[in-house]
Structure formats: C-alpha cells, structure tokens
C-alpha cells in the first residue's frame, strides 16, 4: 500500500495521510465492544447486548463469551460486563465505543500489541512492512487465509508491477486504471468514495475573500471528467453523498467573474502538493491554471505553504465520526452534536479554510484467485485460480 | 423517521418548509431526483410535498423552492432549499430504512393474550374472578364465565358521543368507576347494580385528551418514570419533562398511546405503540427512557390493526386494537415476560 504506518496501536497518533489505511486495517486486529455495519448502524461486536440500569445511572454491556486474545488467554472482564455511565444519549455512547480508541488492546511486556481480532500482528517493521497472521482462536471463526503480508510506502506504479510479476496478490490502483487492468485479467474491487481531495489553507494569512475567490475559480467538472476520467464525484462538501445524502447542497459551480472581483489586487499564494502522486500532481497543475484565469497567482512550493492540495480519508461509515476525524485532521473545531450534521459540516466549510474538490473511491486490482477483497476477515484464495496471474 | 413512507416524509418536510414562507408568498417547486426512484414515485413525493405547501389566493410573491430526493447509507433524504433572492434556507427530512435492530436484553419480551372481541368500539376492559366488564361506546356490559363461555348478564348504559371516544374503567372489589369525556361515574355491581355520574374526571369533555390536576400542556397520554414525565402532545411528538416539570426533550416515533408499567423488569419502563399513518398494523414495544431519549428494550409485538386504547393494568397493560380485516375491536392483555 502507499501509506506507511509506524504502528497499528489504536492509541498512537497517526499521520493524517495514513489515517485511511489505519482505519481499514485496525478492525482486523483490534476489536471494540460495538462496530458499525454497512448502513452505519451500531452492531454487537465484543459486547453482545446492552441494558440501562436506571437506579445506578449506567449502561451495562454484556461481554461476549469465549473470546480469546491473540496470546490464547481469555478476554473476560470482571463480572462479564462493562459499565458505562449514562451521561450522554445512547447513540453517542455507542458511537464513542465503536472508535478505535476504545478497542480492546493489551500491551505485552515485550512491547507487542495483543488484540482479539481475526488477525494478530506477527511482525511490524515500522513504515516498511508487516505480517498479520490468522488468529486460530478467533471467536467468529478462523480467517480463511493463513496470513496477510503488507508492503508499505509502495507507489502505485510499483504495486502494479508487483502484481504483474506475481510478487503480490493485491495492489492499490487508480479507478481510471480499473478497465485496463480488468482487460488484462485482474480482479477489481472498489469502495464508495473514501477520500476527498481538498485544498487546505495552512495559515490564517490569506484574507477570507481570497480564499472564497480560489474556491470559485476551480473547475471541478473538468478535473473530474478529464483528469480523473469521471471516476470521482465533484463536490464542495467534505462528506460524500453516500454518507451524508446532502453533498449537493454545497455550491460547487465555477464563477470566474466573481472570483476575479474578489481576488483583485490580492497577493500570490504559496501552493504545495505531492508532485510524486499520480492524482495530486495533475489536479494541482490544473488548479494553478484555473486560479490564474481568475487572476490568482499560485506559487509552487515543496515546503511550507499557504494552501496545500491533499487527500482527506473518510474513516468511518458513521457520518459523525467521519466528520469529527476530518475536523481533527484539519485542526478545526466542530460544533456540538446537538447542532445537526449538516449544520456542523457547514460550520467547518464556512470561511473557506478548506475547499473540497472531488470525492474518490478506493480501488484494488487482485490476482484471479483472490475473493472478498477488501474485507480482510473474509478474504480467501480460490485454489482453482491460485496460480492465475493478471 | 423509521417506518415513515416517502410521502409522509415529504409532508413533514413541507410543514417545516412553510415556516420559511411569509403569508403572501407562493412557492414554486422544482424537483430533482438523485435516486433510483421511478418518475412516477418521485412525482408522488413531489405531489405530497406541494399539497401541504399549497397556498390559496393569487399571490404574486413567488418563492423558488427546490425539492431534492437524495439518499445515503441509512435511507432516503429529502432536502428542500428555499430561495429568497441571494439568501437560501435549507430543511431536511430523513426517511430511514428499517434499522438493523439493536440488541435487546436477552429474554425480555412483550406478550399478548386476546381477551375479548366485539363490533362496538371497546374503551376499556377489566376482569375479576369469573366476571368481565367491558366499557364500550354504549356503556358497561358485565359478563360471567359459564362453562368456558362468557355470557352477558348485565348492561349499564353510559353512552359516549365523542369523536374518537375514550373511556377508563376501574374495578375496586364490588364497586367501579367509569371515566368518560367530561364525566365520572361511580357505581356498584354486587350485590346490586347502581350508577351515579358527575361532571369532571380524567378525560376532557367532548375531546379525546386527558385532564390533570397540575397545569400541563394538552396531551393524549401521560406516563411517569422515576425521573421523568412523558406527555403525548398535540404536535404528534412525545415531550419529556424533568422531575420539576421543566421540558428537557421531545422525540418522534411513538404513537399517542403509551403507558408506564410497574413491577418486575418492566418497572419504570414504558409500553408504547408505533406511529401508524393509515391502514396498517400497529405494534407495542417496551422502552426505557435514558438521558431523556427512548431506548428500545424488546422486539415489537405486532397487531392486525391500529391500537385504539392502551391503559396500564395490574398485571401489565390492556390494549384495544381495531382489526383492519374484520373491522372488529379486540382487547388484549399485555404482559412483559422477564425471561431468565
């Protein structure tokens, strides 16, 4: 994978660029009392049920029986229950308990991390590679595959070469390459939009009107239709429509005339993006052209910048958690949950400190033998196709 | 809301949209459909929306309103954008798919047992030994169980001519109390039958709402838990008040009938009917109220029609249902099985 993770410890800080990869891998190793299903609804995981104890003002979660940690010892909370104070509405409590920060993790004496998930960490070479081995005593049944080897920090082109040469069973790809690779015999798996390309202002030096001008200057439709070959969803929203339902409410139309008015006599902006990234580079170049058409000068930089083009991951199928994580990555304050999701997202977008551009799906190419990717707990290899190559 | 149709959602959205329209303003609605809904279905949604928004008169102040039918992983989302010049207001309404059911405590279930059915609307019913008393819109009928059959052995006329009639029957030994809208009657049934009525009581005269000794908003149902007071109020929502009567929350999803239960695992918990928007069966669910919000504790107990009455009783509750297929009224004894 492209991302590099120093550690899979749920309690460790993570580079925002690796948050998406971390959100995907964590549940395979560390589990929580509650998890979200495909509809974003909380479901039992290590807790099988929960009941309110009105007298003592608490929620009592019943621990699942017969759960073994990766080292073979039983996970058995005292009394078979976990108690949580009822100081918030239940949906907020369940949402919190589903977060990685509430995963069941044991730190062994040798520094290794022990969880209850379908895979255990057999080896972790920080930011380079890792091996996850099947947990034979997993409560929901041993995974089908014996292990998953992960190489980190691999560029997309290198991953594709690894796939073609048989060095890997799975490679991350750009969605626009899916058709080409499918014609070569690869299996293709894709998710709904799980990342948002956005411009983020990294300091408060730029006046509001200049930020708004930049937002109005961008031609999202051309970026999506030409550069991304219609694989994304142009949007001025942080959350994709499959998650919020209302992304279209945020205006994404280009207005060069208005942008010119707002940007008149404005100073240049220092603009940065990863020039090695096959998506960010052409999009960044197009943004610079769009901006210049509105009289906004973007000066390239590889270091500190006024505005940066980045990819923001969608970390959860729960819209609130996804929005909270985005706010944390952007170092912006989120209004309280009582204000409503749309109002909270509107508040983040107010002032144009962040300008969302396009939502993109994640995609992988696999050898013909791989089945049920990217659901790690369920993935298996079809032995009849085990030797098939793309 | 769960269980609501798209057209119901459109009507609810239209009601919240009207607050953005001044009296002389006339809405012009444009619809966008971003979902796989057919044109016919989308047109029905638009029609339901517009019917509630429709204004009479030849108002010249036209306000553009865009209705968008969208969706997300939880279901449909209806969005109304109201444009006044350069200003825009936004209202939304979620119409949820059936949620994945949150786990209920193991073993707690709502059970029902059919006690009686008849064609006249049943208002309340009480059982004592081998006698059954049925309060309906014509009065109180007394039945005696003979050879496993109920034989009617007496009738006390006490007609109720209110639209959506309600009534309450309490038995205390050989005497009883009947509550009808604006009237309270006291009587005896053993050894002789007698009845005397006065004005006043728990049911509002000529209405289907409840009275109370303390000043409360108009309500259809009332329930008290250890910390809260719940009222089914005129806006269709359930309002929660704290121990000193301060409003703390309001939520949707319950019908206008609910009852606080006593005893066992049901103590301090509420039995509530689901909202029914027409000719479909209601259900009863046991809820906890935690942090001023309902928490479902049991799977629904389903019925063949709408619940027309729900009263707490000594052993649980008494529910009356109008069977859609037969048109007859059915009285059920409702209990909570605590399992284990």
Q: Which residues contact A93 (CB under 8 A, 6 or more apart)?
A: A59, A84, A86
Cβ distance of A319 and B72 shorter than 8 Å? yes
Half-sphere exposure of A249 (CA within 13 A, CB side): 30
Q: Is residue B306 part of a domain?
A: yes
Backbone angles phi, psi at B48, to 5 degrees: -60, -40
Nearest to B99 among A41, A241, A245 (CB): A41
pLDDT tens digit sequence for A344-382: 999 999 999 999 999 999 999 999 888 888 888 888 888
Which of A35, A46, A51 has the most B C-beta neighbours within 10 Å, making it the best mutation to test the interface with B?
Answer: A51
Distance of CA B87 to the CA centre of its chain: 39
Stretch B308-327: mean pLDDT: 91
Q: Do domains A31-107 and A192-363 have the same CATH topology?
A: no
Tell if the pTM clears 0.95, that is, is over it. no
Which of B156, B179, B207 is at the close of a domain?
A: B207
Stronger pLDDT, B94 or B213, i.e. the higher one: B94
How many domains does chain B contain in total?
Answer: 3
- Claim to verify: residue B213 and residue B311 sit in the same structural domain: yes
Cβ distance of B70 and A44 shorter than 8 Å? no
Nearest alpha-carbon partner for B328 in B44, B120, B47: B120
- Claim to verify: residue B221 and residue B330 sit in the same structural domain: yes
Distance of CA A193 to the CA centre of its chain: 10
Residue of A nearest to B91 (CA): A342
Instruction: Name the DSSP letter for residue B119.
Output: S
Nearest to A88 among B104, B268, B291 (CB): B291
Instruction: Name the DSSP letter for residue A335.
Output: P
Give residue B162's pLDDT band: very low, low, confident or very high (50, 70, 90).
Answer: low
Residue of A nearest to B268 (CA): A54
CATH of the domain at B85: 3.30.160
Q: Which residues contact A23 (CB under 8 A, 6 or more apart)?
A: A100, A313, A315, A316
- Claim to verify: residue B251 and residue B114 sit in the same structural domain: yes
Cβ distance of A90 and B94 shorter than 8 Å? no
Which of B176, B207, B238 is at the close of a domain?
A: B207
Which of A245, A317, A319 has the most B C-beta neighbours within 10 Å, making it the best mutation to test the interface with B?
Answer: A245
Cβ distance of A90 and B291 shorter than 8 Å? yes
- Claim to verify: residue B289 and residue B233 sit in the same structural domain: yes
Nearest to B72 among A62, A88, A244 (CB): A244
Q: Which residues of A touch B293 (CB under 8 A)?
A: 89-90
Stretch A144-149: mean pLDDT: 92
Q: Which residues contact B246 (CB under 8 A, 6 or more apart)?
A: none
- Claim to verify: residue B230 and residue B180 sit in the same structural domain: no
- For residue B104, what pLDDT is reported? 54
Cα gap B129→A231, rounded to integer Å: 73
Stretch A38-66: mean pLDDT: 87
Paired sense of beta strands B25-33 and B61-72, if any: parallel
Closest-CA distance of chain B to residue A245, Å: 5
Model ipTM?
0.86
- For residue A314, what pLDDT is reported? 94
- Claim to verify: residue B172 and residue B230 sit in the same structural domain: no
B80 touches chain A (CB under 8 A): no
Q: Is residue B39 part of a domain?
A: yes
- Claim to verify: residue B116 and residue B258 sit in the same structural domain: yes
- Claim to verify: residue B86 and residue B214 sit in the same structural domain: no
Q: Is residue B1 part of a domain?
A: no
Beta bridge partners of B305: none
The CATH superfamily label for domain A31-107 reads Dipeptide-binding Protein; Domain 1 (3.90.76.10)
> Could you state, in order of their start, the residue ranges of all structural domains in chain A?
31-107, 192-363
Terminal-to-terminal C-alpha distance of chain A = 18
Top-level class of domain A192-363? alpha beta
- Claim to verify: residue B150 and residue B234 sit in the same structural domain: no
Cα gap A232→A221, rounded to integer Å: 10
Q: Which residues of A touch B91 (CB under 8 A)?
A: none
Give the domain extent around B152. 129-164+167-207
3-state secondary structure of A79: helix
Q: Which residues of B touch A48 (CB under 8 A)?
A: 103
pLDDT tens digit sequence for B98-110: 554 455 555 688 9
| Cβ–Cβ pairs < 8 A, chains A and B | 81
B71 touches chain A (CB under 8 A): yes
Cβ distance of B73 and A88 shorter than 8 Å? no
Residue of B nearest to A343 (CA): B90
Q: Which residues contact A229 (CB under 8 A, 6 or more apart)?
A: A175, A176
Beta bridge partners of A58: A53, A85
pLDDT tens digit sequence for B8-54: 899 989 988 988 988 888 899 999 999 988 888 999 999 999 988 87
Number of neighbours of residue A107 by Cβ within 10 angstroms:
11
- Claim to verify: residue B245 and residue B335 sit in the same structural domain: yes
């Amino acid at each position: 994978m492209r991302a590099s993770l120093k550690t899979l410890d749920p309690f460790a800080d993570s580079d925002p660029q690796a948050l998406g990869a971390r959100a995907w891998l964590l549940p395979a190793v560390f589990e929580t009392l509650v998890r979200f299903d495909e509809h974003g609804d909380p479901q039992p995981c290590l807790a099988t049920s929960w009941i309110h104890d009105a007298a003592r003002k608490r929620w009592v979660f019943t621990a699942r029986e017969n759960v073994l940690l990766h080292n073979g010892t039983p996970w058995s909370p005292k009394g078979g229950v976990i108690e949580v104070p009822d100081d918030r509405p239940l949906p907020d409590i369940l949402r919190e308990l589903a977060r990685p920060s509430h995963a069941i993790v044991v730190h062994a004496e040798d520094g290794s991390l022990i969880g209850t998930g379908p895979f255990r960490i057999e080896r972790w070479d920080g930011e380079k590679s890792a091996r996850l081995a099947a947990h034979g005593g997993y409560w929901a049944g041993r995974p089908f595959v014996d292990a998953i080897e992960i190489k980190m920090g691999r560029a997309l082109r290198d991953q594709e070469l690894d796939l073609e040469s048989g060095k890997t069973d799975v490679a991350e790809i750009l969605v626009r390459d899916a058709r080409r690779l499918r014609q070569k015999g690869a299996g293709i798996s894709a998710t709904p939009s799980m990342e948002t390309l956005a411009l983020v202002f990294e300091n408060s030096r730029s006046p509001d009107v200049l930020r708004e001008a930049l937002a109005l200057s961008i031609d999202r439709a051309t970026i999506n239709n030409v550069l991304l070959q219609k694989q994304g969803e142009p949007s001025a929203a942080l959350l994709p429509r499959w998650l919020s339902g209302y992304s279209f409410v945020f205006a994404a139309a280009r207005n060069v005339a208005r942008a010119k008015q707002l940007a008149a006599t404005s100073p240049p902006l220092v603009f940065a993006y990863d020039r090695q990234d096959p998506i960010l580079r052409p999009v960044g170049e197009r943004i610079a052209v769009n901006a210049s058409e509105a009289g906004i000068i973007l000066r390239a930089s590889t270091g500190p910048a006024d505005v940066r083009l980045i990819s923001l991951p969608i970390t959860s199928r729960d819209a609130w958690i996804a929005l909270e994580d985005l706010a944390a990555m952007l170092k912006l304050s989120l209004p309280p949950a009582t204000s409503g999701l749309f109002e909270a997202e509107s508040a983040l977008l107010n002032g144009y400190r962040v300008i969302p551009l396009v939502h993109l799906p994640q995609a992988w190419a696999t050898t013909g033998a791989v089945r049920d990717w990217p659901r790690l707990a369920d993935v298996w290899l079809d032995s009849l196709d085990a030797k098939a190559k793309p | 809301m769960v269980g609501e149709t798209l057209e119901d959602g459109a009507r609810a959205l239209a009601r919240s949209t009207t607050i953005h329209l001044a009296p002389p303003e006339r809405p012009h609605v444009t619809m966008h459909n971003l979902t796989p809904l057919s044109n016919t279905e989308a047109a029905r949604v638009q029609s339901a929306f517009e019917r509630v928004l429709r204004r009479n008169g030849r108002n010249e102040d036209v306000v553009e309103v865009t209705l968008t039918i969208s969706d997300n992983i939880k279901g449909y989302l209806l969005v109304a954008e109201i444009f006044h010049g350069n200003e825009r207001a936004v209202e939304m309404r979620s119409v949820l798919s059936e949620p994945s059911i949150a786990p209920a405590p193991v073993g707690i279930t709502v059970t029902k047992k059919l006690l009686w059915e008849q064609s006249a609307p049943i208002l309340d019913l009480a059982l004592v030994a081998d006698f059954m008393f049925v309060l309906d819109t014509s009065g109180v009928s007394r039945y005696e169980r003979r050879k496993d059959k109920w034989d009617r052995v007496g009738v006390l006329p006490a007609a109720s001519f209110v639209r959506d009639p309600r009534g309450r029957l309490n038995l205390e030994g050989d005497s009883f109390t009947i509550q009808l809208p604006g009237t309270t009657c006291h009587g005896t049934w053993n050894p002789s039958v007698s009845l005397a009525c006065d004005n006043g009581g728990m049911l509002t005269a000529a209405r289907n709402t409840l009275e109370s000794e303390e000043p409360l908003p108009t309500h259809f149902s009332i329930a008290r838990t250890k910390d809260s007071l719940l009222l089914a109020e005129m806006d269709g929502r359930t309002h929660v008040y704290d121990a000193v009567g301060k409003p703390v929350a309001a939520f949707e999803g319950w019908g206008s009938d609910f009852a606080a239960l006593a005893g066992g695992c049901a103590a301090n918990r509420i039995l509530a009917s689901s909202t029914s928007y027409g000719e479909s069966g209601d259900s009863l669910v046991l809820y906890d109220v935690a942090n001023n919000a309902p928490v479902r504790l049991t799977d629904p107990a389903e019925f063949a029609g709408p619940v027309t009455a729900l009263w707490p009783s000594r052993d649980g509750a008494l529910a009356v249902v109008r069977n859609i297929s037969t048109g007859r009224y059915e009285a059920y004894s409702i209990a909570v099985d605590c399992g284990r």
